[in-house]
Structure 1
C-alpha cells in the first residue's frame, strides 16, 4: 500500500464560525486570523494505492462554482486536485473509488465537473465508484434548513444519475471493521448525520483521516467545536471518545483542514488529550 497527500486547494473561513462559542482570545493562539477574522483552511485529501485499487478520500470544493461563490472563501495558493494527482503520477481516470467523508461542498465538490459545453454536469472520475452511506445520502438530498447551503445538488445528484454511486454498510455500533474499501470507518453524527472517518492500517500504523471531527490541531480541546456542527453536544462526546482511543493507540491523525499541520499524534495530559507531535506526510508516507 502507498499513501499520497492530495491538495485540492486552500481557502479561508471565519475563525468565529470555525470555533463556535470559544473566544477569539483563545483560538487565535493556534489559528491566527487576518484583519477580516478569516483563518487559513486546507482541503487536504488522501489517495490510497492498494493493489489495483486507487481510493481518493474527499475531493475539495472543485472549480465549477461561480466567482461570486468562491469570493466568499478567498482561495489562496496554486494547488488543485488534478495537478496534485498529476504530481504523484496519476490521472483522474485512474481513480477506482472516491470515498466521501460527507457531502458538504468543501468535501465533495471536486467529484463533479461541468460537461464539455457547460450545459450540465458529469462525474470528474469516469471509472470510479462514489461511496457515501444511505443515512447521510438521505440527509444530504433532503437537507435541513441549517445545512441546506452546504449540500449543493449539483455536487451530489450527478453521482447517482451516473450509476456510479455506492453505499458503505452502516454499523451496528460506531465503527465498521474492514469496510468494502479495506479500512475501518468511525461514524460520527455531531457535525452532520453519519460522517465517516477512515482508519487506515498502513505499515503497522493507523492513519485516521479526521475530516470535520477534528478540523485543525487547534480544535483538540474538547469544547472547541465548530459553529457549523448540527449537534455540538454530540460532537463533544464523539470527539472525546475518538481522541482517547487515538491517544491510547498512538494513532496518526491526518488533518484535512489544517493548512499548516498535516499529521499529528496526541497524548493524555491533566487537561485532557492534547498535542504530542506534529509530523509531515513525508515523515510517515515515505
Structure 2
C-alpha cells in the first residue's frame, strides 16, 4: 500500500465562522486572519494505492462554479487536483473509488464536472465507484435551511444518475470495513452533519485518521474549538472528546483536510486534556 497527500486547492473562510464562539484573540494564535478576518484554508485529499485499487478520499471544490461563487472563497495558490495527481503519476481515469466523508461542496465539488459541451454534468472520475451512506445522502438531498447552501444539487445528484453511487451500510458499532479489496475502518460522527465518515488507515506501522471536518485544522484540536458551521455543536464536542481519547489510546496521527500548512499531527495528554504534540509533513513521516 502507498498513500499520497493530494492538494486540491486553497481558499479562505471567515475565522469567526471557523471557530464558533471561541474569541479571535485565541484562535488567531494558530490561524491568523487577514484584514477581512479570513483565514487560510486547505483542501487536502488522501489517495490510497492498494493493489488494483486507487481510492481518493474527498476531492475538493472542483472548478465548475462561476466566478461569483468562487469570489466568496478567495481562492489562492496554484494547487489543483489534476496537478497533484500528476505529481504522483496518476490521472482521474485511474481512480477506482471516490470516498466522500460528506457532501458539502468543499469536499465533493470535484466529483462532478461539466460534460464536454457544457450542457450538463458528469462524474469527473468515470471509472470510479462513489461512496457515501444512505443516511447522509438523505440528509444532503433534502437539506435543512442551515446547510442548503453547502449541499449543491449539481455536485450530488449526477453521482446517482450515473449509476456510480454506492452506500456503505451503517454499522452498529460505529466502524465499518470498507467494502472493496482495501480494508479501511470508518468512524461515523453526527455533530458537523449527519453521518460524516472519518476513514482510519493503517500504514507503515502507524494509524492515520482522516479528520475531515471534525478537526479541520491543527488549531481545532482543543475540545471547545468547534466550527460555527456545525449543525449540532454540543454533539460535536461530545464526539470530539471521545475521538481525541481514542487517538491518544491508539497513538493515531491526524491527517488534516483543511489545514493549509500542516498535513499531519500527533497528540499528547496533558493536565489540561489532549493537546497538539507535533505537526509533520507527510514526507517527513512516510516519504513518497
User: TM bucket by the smaller chain?
Assistant: over 0.9
> Counterpart of 1:138?
138
Q: Is 1:2–1:285's contact at 8 Å kept on the other side of the alignment? A: no
- Residue 33 of structure 1: how far off its partner (Å): 0.1
Could you tell me the TM-score, scaled by structure 2's length? 0.98
SS in structure 2 of the partner of residue 233 of structure 1: helix
> Counterpart of 1:40?
40
**Partner Cα separation in structure 1 for residue 176 and residue 243 of structure 2:** 14
- Residue 249 of structure 1: how far off its partner (Å): 1.5
Give every structure 1 segment of 4 or more consecutive aligned residues whose post-TM-superposition deviation is greater than 3 Å: 177-181
Q: Is 1:225–1:235's contact at 8 Å kept on the other side of the alignment? A: yes
SS in structure 1 of the partner of residue 258 of structure 2: coil
Q: Is 1:207–1:253's contact at 8 Å kept on the other side of the alignment? A: yes
> Counterpart of 2:282?
281
**Partner Cα separation in structure 1 for residue 206 and residue 47 of structure 2:** 16
- Residue 178 of structure 1: how far off its partner (Å): 5.2
SS in structure 1 of the partner of residue 194 of structure 2: coil
- Residue 179 of structure 1: how far off its partner (Å): 4.8
- Residue 177 of structure 1: how far off its partner (Å): 4.1
Could you tell me the TM-score, scaled by structure 1's length? 0.98
Q: How many residues align?
A: 286
Q: Is 2:204–2:286's contact at 8 Å kept on the other side of the alignment? A: no
> Counterpart of 1:11?
11
> Counterpart of 1:166?
166
- Residue 271 of structure 1: how far off its partner (Å): 1.0
- Residue 285 of structure 1: how far off its partner (Å): 2.7
> Counterpart of 1:123?
123
**Partner Cα separation in structure 2 for residue 61 and residue 194 of structure 1:** 20
Q: Is 1:131–1:167's contact at 8 Å kept on the other side of the alignment? A: yes
- After superposition, the C-alpha distances for 1:30-51 in whole angstroms (9 at most, x for unaligned) are 1000000000000000000000
> Counterpart of 2:30?
30
Over 3 Å counting, the alpha-carbon distance change for 1:132 and 1:178 in structure 2 is: closer
**Partner Cα separation in structure 1 for residue 222 and residue 47 of structure 2:** 28
SS in structure 2 of the partner of residue 3 of structure 1: strand
Equivalent residues in 2 for 1:68-147 (5 A)?
68-147=68-147
User: Unpaired segments of 5 or more residues in structure 2?
Assistant: none
**Partner Cα separation in structure 2 for residue 75 and residue 122 of structure 1:** 24
SS in structure 1 of the partner of residue 119 of structure 2: coil
> Counterpart of 1:245?
246
> Counterpart of 1:220?
221
User: Unpaired segments of 5 or more residues in structure 1?
Assistant: none
> Counterpart of 2:155?
155
CA RMSD after TM alignment: 0.9
- After superposition, the C-alpha distances for 1:36-78 in whole angstroms (9 at most, x for unaligned) are 0000000000000000000000000000000000000000000
**Partner Cα separation in structure 2 for residue 269 and residue 99 of structure 1:** 34
**Partner Cα separation in structure 1 for residue 57 and residue 190 of structure 2:** 19
> Counterpart of 2:257?
256
**Partner Cα separation in structure 2 for residue 269 and residue 223 of structure 1:** 16
Q: Which moved more, 1:211-220 or 1:173-182?
A: 173-182
Q: Is 1:46–1:56's contact at 8 Å kept on the other side of the alignment? A: yes
> Counterpart of 2:187?
186
